Each structure stands twice: as structure tokens, then as C-alpha cells.
Amino acid sequence: MEEKILGVLGGVGPLATIYFADLVVKMTQAQTDQEHIAMVILNHASIPDRTAYILDKTKPNPLPVMIRDAKVLEEDNCSYIVIPCNTAHYFYDEIQKSIGIPIINILEETVSYCEKTIPSLKKIGILATEGTIKSKAYQNIIEKHSLECAVPSEEDQASLMNIIYNQVKAGREVDIFEFHRIIGELKKQGCDAVVLGCTELSIIKKDFGIDRPDIVDSMECLARASILACGKKLKEN
């Protein structure tokens, strides 16, 4: 059987990219080095900020850089590409059209995982960047799955952006109490699951050991899908 190579279009952001690769290794059932997935990681940290462009089209456009990077990964004989950044999936269709290999969609995989694992799922809350929320990327997919969706209030969204940009991305201490408060507000709206729809939030889940089945980590969903797509098995735990 031909070895599948996973291409990681990374740098969006750099810490999330490294954490994704770590997750893939730790979640793969392997007894030897040779049983792990082959990965080509392009950690291109200088890609322009995705949210900045989505909210203000006069800002630098990350799409041309991401398309070039996707083509580099295709030329490196990758079988699949992943983008460990939810906000960057605003550009998913354009990037996918530019190459001949599939991009595993983190948004689709996350919503599908919620459906499979959350009993009597009716409503999903989304924690994500303002760019992801304003583009309705998750809302559209959730609606396609005939589910309801909730997002934070304007004030809570501003607080969440502070956590993402001024704390996680900046390498500063995270206000974990505020993070849990925002989750609680979504639960009060009747959400059966709350999706961590920003890969910086996935890092909070890891660093603080958050282990709740109703908090669904998009990064873990992408890692699971990548492992299975490349013909490997998931660790049972």
C-alpha cells in the first residue's frame, strides 16, 4: 500500500501548527516510528492575518500566499492537505480549486464529530475569531446539518478576541475564568455542545487539561480525520 503523506499548510498560527502535529503523533496507534504518518509541515508564519482581511478588505490578502503554499505541498507529493486554522477556511474553496489534492475541512469534520458524539444534539455554540463568526463559516455548515447555532454576545466576543490575540498568540497568561464564563453563557442559551472553533483555543484546552465531552476541540477533530484519511488507526483512548 502506497504511503499517504499529509501536507500541513501552517503558520496560521505557528503555535497551533506545532500543536496539531503533536496531536497527530499522540493520537495515532503506532508501536514504531515507521507506523506514524508522514507529514510535510510548512510553518509559514508571515502569512497575513486572516481575521484582519475578512473584516477589512484593504488589509493584506492571505489567499495568494496560501495558494502558493498549497501548491508547494502538492508538488511535494502530499496526498492530503490540512489547514490547522478555522478562520483560514474562509478561503477554503479558492485554495481547493487551485490544487488537485483534497483539503480536509476542519469545519465539516468538527460539526460531523459533534453529531456522532453528542446525544440528542440540537444546538451548537461556537467560540471562534471575529473573522470566523462574521463570515458565518460555522453557521452555514451547522445549518446544512439541520442544527441550531449560537455565538457569543458582542461583549463576550470582544473578550474572547482578547484571549486569542493578546493572551494565547502573545504567549501571555490566559484568563481561564473568563474563558469558562464565556462557555457558560453559551450553555445558558441551550447549547448541547460548544465548539472550540479557533486553534488557539485548542491550546487552552490542552494547557488547562479541560476534559468535557460537551466542549469539542476542532483541532482534535482535524487530527482524527487526518489519521484516518492517511490509512492509520486512532489510539483507543
Helix/strand/coil (H/E/C) assignment for every residue in 147-171: CEEECCCHHHHHHHHHHHHHHHCCC
Q: How far is CA 101 from the centre of its chain?
A: 19
Based on the fold, state whether residues 119 and 97 are members of the same structural domain. no
Based on the fold, state whether residues 97 and 55 are members of the same structural domain. yes
Place of cell 484546552: 205
| Domain contains 236 | no
Based on the fold, state whether residues 88 and 150 are members of the same structural domain. no
Phi, psi of 172 (to 5 degrees): -105, 170
Helix axes 154-161, 176-188, angle to 10 degrees: 150
CA distances from 228 to 16, 71, 81 (A): 20, 23, 13
Based on the fold, state whether residues 78 and 118 are members of the same structural domain. no
| Domain contains 111 | yes
| Domain contains 237 | no
For the entire predicted model, the pTM comes to 0.93
Based on the fold, state whether residues 203 and 135 are members of the same structural domain. yes
| Domain contains 78 | yes
Based on the fold, state whether residues 95 and 148 are members of the same structural domain. no
Based on the fold, state whether residues 65 and 79 are members of the same structural domain. yes
Based on the fold, state whether residues 167 and 140 are members of the same structural domain. yes
Residue positions annotated with a catalytic role: 85, 198
Sign of CA dihedral 197, 201, 205, 210: negative
Range of the domain at 150: 107-218
| Domain contains 151 | yes
| Domain contains 23 | yes
- pLDDT for 1 equals 63
- pLDDT for 187 equals 97
| Domain contains 169 | yes
Based on the fold, state whether residues 81 and 28 are members of the same structural domain. yes
Q: What is the DSSP letter of 74?
A: H
Based on the fold, state whether residues 128 and 201 are members of the same structural domain. yes
| Domain contains 39 | yes
- pLDDT for 163 equals 97
- pLDDT for 83 equals 96
Strand ranges inside 24-145, DSSP E: 38-43, 80-82, 103-104, 123-127
Q: In whole angstroms, what is the distance from residue 68 CA to residue 210 CA? A: 36
- pLDDT for 95 equals 97
Q: Report the CATH number at residue 47.
A: 3.40.50.1860
- pLDDT for 13 equals 80
pLDDT by residue for the chain (237 residues), tens digit each?
689 999 999 988 888 899 999 999 999 999 999 999 999 999 988 999 898 998 899 999 999 999 999 999 999 999 999 999 998 999 999 999 999 999 999 999 999 999 999 999 999 999 999 989 999 999 999 999 999 999 999 999 999 999 999 999 899 999 999 999 999 999 999 999 999 999 889 999 999 999 999 999 999 999 999 999 999 999 986
- pLDDT for 11 equals 84
Based on the fold, state whether residues 56 and 123 are members of the same structural domain. no
Q: In the numeric block, which cell numbers belong to residue 213?
A: 465531552
Return all residues near 37 (Cβ < 8 A) that are at least 6 apart.
4, 5, 6, 24, 28, 226, 227, 230, 232
- pLDDT for 153 equals 97
Number of structural domains found in the chain:
2
Based on the fold, state whether residues 77 and 128 are members of the same structural domain. no
